[in-house]
Structure 1
Amino acid sequence: MDDRAVCRPPASTAMGNGLGQRLTDQQKLPRPVYQRVPPGARPPAPSFVQKVLDWVPMRDFLAAQAGFTGRFNRAVRRLDREGGPAIPAAQSHFHFGEQLVIPVAAKSLTTRLRDNISDRERLRWIGTHFLDGSDWSRIVEPLENSSSHAEILELINTRQDFREGKRYRGYAKRIHDGAVVKRNRIVIDTIDKLDNYFEYYLALIADIETNGIVPHSDLGLLGQTGRRHRWTRTLWQDLAERDIGVAVDAEGRLVRHTNGKHRMAAALALGIERIPVEIRLVHAGWLRQQADLLGLSPADALLATLEQARATGWPAM
């Protein structure tokens, strides 16, 4: 047990006064520790049925309406004891909606969660669930370690001379040597495609310089870059695009998570002070403590904290 665990008194002294369940509820099991995966390793591809459910998420939509709050609150308490993930991310998105979007200071985000992890020797994508109670310490790393982050920083420094950048030259050499570069799930196997890829993100940088980071609810499918170089992203990415994603860790800190890698990098490099982000993952240990602090259920505590954050910034309380 970790250092927050408490000893359970004998049943004869606890059960009679109703404390037994509360003390049992507070006991902690050893938390699963998420591990990094080897470079290039990816989780197994989803089945055809899962792909259909992702495209037409009627099951998650219905689950977000019926009995969601009770399942959410029970999951927080269970994960705080046992660790692991719960509550599909899509269900939380449908249930909480735009309430998950808050403004934050861009410079407060300095780390990210790795996208692909080893969860008890099983590879999976970190974005599948909204709640998690495991140990994230080995999958958190500085934003600068992200290749997407490095690409944007290089583009901002080189602009139209992007072909002189170290990362561009490295990609070009691989293509000349007969290899391919895969970015945004798209294979780049010619120099023309490589140029178009970098030009796409030059357009993104130019738009952000002019307009800042625009909330996704104010954008259409084409986002902040219009129709330019559309082939550089898959249709699925455009359909799934949302605000810059963040996770709330066990200490209540915000960590960049899944969506918005390039936009986040551009905001930091361009000195944009405040950006809209969407809460995409919440550590159950933090939320359980927040609920106890506020005297609310976990779901209500999350909403109260987000409402306060919209008024005063994060951390809200």
Structure 2
Amino acid sequence: MNSGTALAEEQTFPGPAYDRAPSGTRPPRPSLLRRALDWVPVQDFLAAHIGFSRRFDQAVLRLAAKGGQATPAARAHFHFADALFLQIDPKTVEMRLRDNFLEAGSLRWVGTHFLDGGDWSHLLAPVAKSSSHAEIIELCRTRQNFRKGKRYRHYARRVTEGETIWRNRIGIDTHDKLDGYFEYYLALIEDIEKNGILPHSDLGLRNQTGYRHRWTRTFWQDLAERDIGIAIDAEGRLVRHTNGKHRMAAALALGIRQVPVEIRLVHARWLARRAEQLGLPPAEALLATIEHARANGWPAK
């Protein structure tokens, strides 16, 4: 039996198990030094251009066999650049990866690396059951009458009882703030309905998210905003990942058939199989698959 067939038939995943993090938990903040290095990623930039493909190919095979994570996300972004972008039908994305997870008891954020070889089964959840998704679906239906929506009324009742609702890491503790939160995303929906979902590279995303009620999102969230994030799981399915949950929900609710996305996480087991199918090194196989998907859609054949 060759290695690709063995990977395809093997149902267990090596390495430490990934477990669902308790609701509301967040990884510890990085040190000031770490944040400074992230803002000036010289090391990642150099590593993305010196010997990257060799290390990447080796990491794919290692992770497929042994599990774990490899290739910092910034290095993959610098190396592959625009090759990671494509247009997809949002209906092909039915699951999402939870942002945070537990690995060997340690809380981790899912967006640190581009390659992963672990078991995602505890981290996957239906897109339709996301709170952000439900809010947008309701807003697309109720529009200016959003105060009559079930989810709005649920939040309003909690605020009346003295509870603070946390959305986008902002505390909502008054009805005026709650109205502002819903009005902010109503403006986003109306813009998407008029203009579609704009690629981040068009520099239209900031305009698209609206200037009204800016307090509903932090400055850092706006600064870090990117195209809708997508991961490729061990079976080659597209999974929503990190940025873009509100835009993806709006696209589905409004019946938009094509949205711009960025591949940000790839399961090593799928890529190892794909490389063998195409007879290419993993890095080249990934690029060839994305290029084929641009013309023929996903799933990759």
Q: Deviations along 1:202-228, whole A, 9 cap, x unmatched?
A: 011001111111111112461413322
Over residues 90-135 of structure 1, what are the superposed CA-to-partner deviations in whole Å (9 max), with x where a residue is unaligned? 1111111111011111111111111111112211111111000001
The TM-score with structure 1 as length reference comes to 0.88
The range that moved more, 220-229 or 148-157, is 220-229
**Matching residue's letter, 2:219:** L
Question: What is the one-letter code of the residue matched to 1:110?
Answer: E
Farther-moved stretch of structure 1 (163-172 vs 262-271): 163-172
1:17-166 aligned at under 5 Å gives the runs 30-166=14-150
Between 1:209-218 and 1:248-257, the stretch displaced more is 209-218
CA 288–129 in structure 1, closer or farther in 2 if over 3 Å, else same: same
CA distance in 1, matches of 2:163, 2:81: 42
Answer whether contact 2:71 2:115 (CA < 8 A) is retained: yes
Which position in structure 2 is the counterpart of 1:219? Answer: 203
- Structure 2: stretches of 5+ with no match in the other structure: none
The superposition leaves residues 249-286 of structure 1 with CA deviations (integer Å, 9 ceiling, x where unpaired) of 11111011111000010111111111111101000001
- Displacement, 1:174? 2.3
Normalising by structure 2, report the TM-score: 0.93
SS in 2 for 1:222: helix
The answer to whether the Cα contact below 8 Å between 2:199 and 2:205 also exists between their aligned partners in 1 is: no
Contact 2:184 2:210 in 1 (8 A): no
Instruction: Determine helix, strand or coil for the equivalent of 1:123.
Output: strand
Cα shift at 1:316: 2.9
Paired AA for residue 137 in structure 1: S
Q: Percent identity?
A: 65
Partner of 1:229: 213
**Which residue number in structure 2 is paired with residue 10 of structure 1?**
none
Hey, what's the Cα distance between the residues in 2 that align with 1:176 and 1:5?
A: 54
Structure number with higher relative contact order (C-alpha < 8 Å, ≥ 6 residues apart):
2
Among 166, 180, 199, which residue is 1:182 paired with? 166
- In structure 1, list runs of 5 or more residues that go unmatched: 7-25
2:250 is aligned to 266
Residue type of the partner of 1:120?
A
Greater displacement, 214-223 / 144-153: 214-223
Q: 1:237, 1:66 → 2: CA distance?
A: 31
1:56 and 1:224 mapped to 2: Cα distance? 27
**CA 1:221–1:239: 2 relative to 1, 3 Å:** farther
Instruction: Tell me if the contact between 1:88 and 1:129 (Cα under 8 Å) persists in the aligned partners.
Output: yes
Say which of 199, 205, 208 aligns to 2:189. 205
- Give the corresponding residue for 1:15: none
Q: Is the 8 A contact 1:33 1:138 kept in 2?
A: no
2:6 paired residue number: 4
Q: Which moved more, 1:49-58 or 1:250-259?
A: 49-58
Give 1:248's aligned residue: 232
Count of residue pairs the alignment pairs up: 295
- Write the letter of the residue equivalent to 2:47: A
Deviation sequence 1:6-41 (CA, Å, 0-9, x none) = 9xxxxxxxxxxxxxxxxxxx9x97343311111122
- Looking at structure 1, the residues matched to 173 and 295 of structure 2 have their Cα atoms a distance apart, in angstroms, of 48
CA distance in 2, matches of 1:50, 1:191: 38
SS at match of 1:155: helix
What SS does the corresponding residue of 2:78 show, helix, strand or coil? helix
Following the alignment from structure 1 to structure 2, what is the Cα–Cα distance between the partners of residues 32 and 183? Answer: 31
Q: Structure 1 stretch 196-205 or stretch 213-222: which is displaced more?
A: 213-222
Match of 2:180 in 1: 196
> How far does residue 53 in structure 1 lie from its aligned partner after superposition?
2.2
Distance 1:235 1:260 in 2: 16
Structure 2 letter corresponding to 1:276: P
Conservation of the 8 A alpha-carbon contact between 1:85 and 1:133: yes
Q: List per-residue Cα deviations over 1:173-224 (Å, max 9, x = no partner).
A: 2222222111111122222111111111001100111111111111246141
Partners in 2 of 1:223 and 1:50 — Cα distance?
30
RMSD after superposition:
1.9
